[in-house]
Amino acid sequence: MIEASLLRFDLLAEDCLLISWPQKIDFEIVMEVRALSEYLNSLTEVLETVPAYASLAVYFDMMNCTSQHIQSLVLNNVSALKTQDLQAKTWVIPVCYDRTFGLDHDRFWEQCKIDISQIIELHTGQSFTVYMRGFQPGFLYLGTLPKELNLPRLENPRSKVEAGSVGIANDQTGIYPLESPGGWNIIGRTPIKLFDLDNTDPTPIKQGDKVRFEPIDLLAYHSLKAESHVPTIA
């Protein structure tokens, strides 16, 4: 695990300690954030954690505990945490890349000179790391995309992106689990449910897990959609 001296501690709110790693996209850091998050969530003083790429917010019981206490627990235990022990899983997510869903296919042709079949080949040809969840319920930030697929966000975000939309922003790909405004380049849509209100663990896909996209046609999209599927392990 990381050297404790490289971690930075800030108070984000009266009841929230923020732990920051060196700010870069790095698989080992992502796994360390997850390991520390899992450790802290097992403590009664900790109410909840918010893991990000290279930082972790820790909400604690302000009335019975201090941020200094959480900080010393982190410093004393961080070196013993092992990222190898984490149960990282690989998930398969079906995506329909049909033109009806791939709203920005033309932008890839205009700016990257790649067509639909190349988009599909590049997007389904490898598995991607879940760097974090967040920004909206169940949103997954995945990477890193091959260079050919890199395309900056839209200058004018759409006011409405449909639930299940799969997008690209620079070297990352992401999934909008709910309808929302959004500025990512949309290349397809998944029929599966990525944020399940009926489950106490609404998103089984965790930071540090891998995701592989599987191309499906419109027919398969509609039949999977009707059956309301959840993500499956590869």
Partner 1 sequence: MSQPLLKVIKSGTMSTIQDGGRHGYRGYGLPTSGFMDMVSAYQANEIVGNQRNGSLIEMIQVGATLKFLQDCAIAITGANMSAMLNGQIVQRYQQISVKSGDQLSFGLAKSNMIGYLAIGGQWHIDAIFGSTATYARAALGGIKGRPLKVGDEISITPSKNKHHHFPEHKIWSYEPGRVLRLIKGPECTQEMTKWLERSTFKVSNQWDRMGVRLKTETPLLKETFLLSCPLAVGTIQLPPDGQPIAVMADGQTTGGYPRLGTIIKADIAYLAQQKPGTTLRFAFVEASYAINIAKWVF
Contact residues for partner 1, defined by CB under 8 A: 8, 10-16, 18, 20, 23-25, 37, 47-57, 59, 62-63, 66-67, 132-139, 141, 178, 180, 195, 197, 200, 202-203
Is there a cis peptide before residue 144, judged by omega within 30 degrees of 0?
yes
Nearest of 40, 156, 140, 60 to residue 107 by alpha carbon: 156
In angstroms, give the least distance from the CB of 172 to partner 1. Answer: 10
Task: Compute the half-sphere exposure of residue 81: CA atoms within 13 Å on the CB side of its CA.
Answer: 24
- Tokens representing residue 4 in the block: 């404790």
Q: Which of residues 98 and 225 has its CB atom nearest to partner 1 in the complex?
A: 225
In angstroms, give the least distance from the CB of 44 to partner 1. Answer: 13
DSSP H helical ranges for the chain: 27-41, 67-77, 105-112, 116-124, 218-227
What CA–CA distance (Å, rounded) separates 19 from 203?
24
In angstroms, give the least distance from the CB of 15 to partner 1. Answer: 7
DSSP H helical ranges for 11-153: 27-41, 67-77, 105-112, 116-124
Q: Which of residues 119 and 130 has its CB atom nearest to partner 1 in the complex?
A: 130
Q: Which of residues 60 and 97 has its CB atom nearest to partner 1 in the complex?
A: 60
Q: Which of residues 138 and 164 has its CB atom nearest to partner 1 in the complex?
A: 138
Q: Which of residues 20 and 127 has its CB atom nearest to partner 1 in the complex?
A: 20
Name the packing angle between helices 67-77 and 27-41 (round to 10°). Answer: 120
In angstroms, give the least distance from the CB of 7 to partner 1. Answer: 12
Q: Which of residues 141 and 213 has its CB atom nearest to partner 1 in the complex?
A: 141
User: Please, are residues 110 and 152 in contact by the beta-carbon 8 Å criterion?
Assistant: no
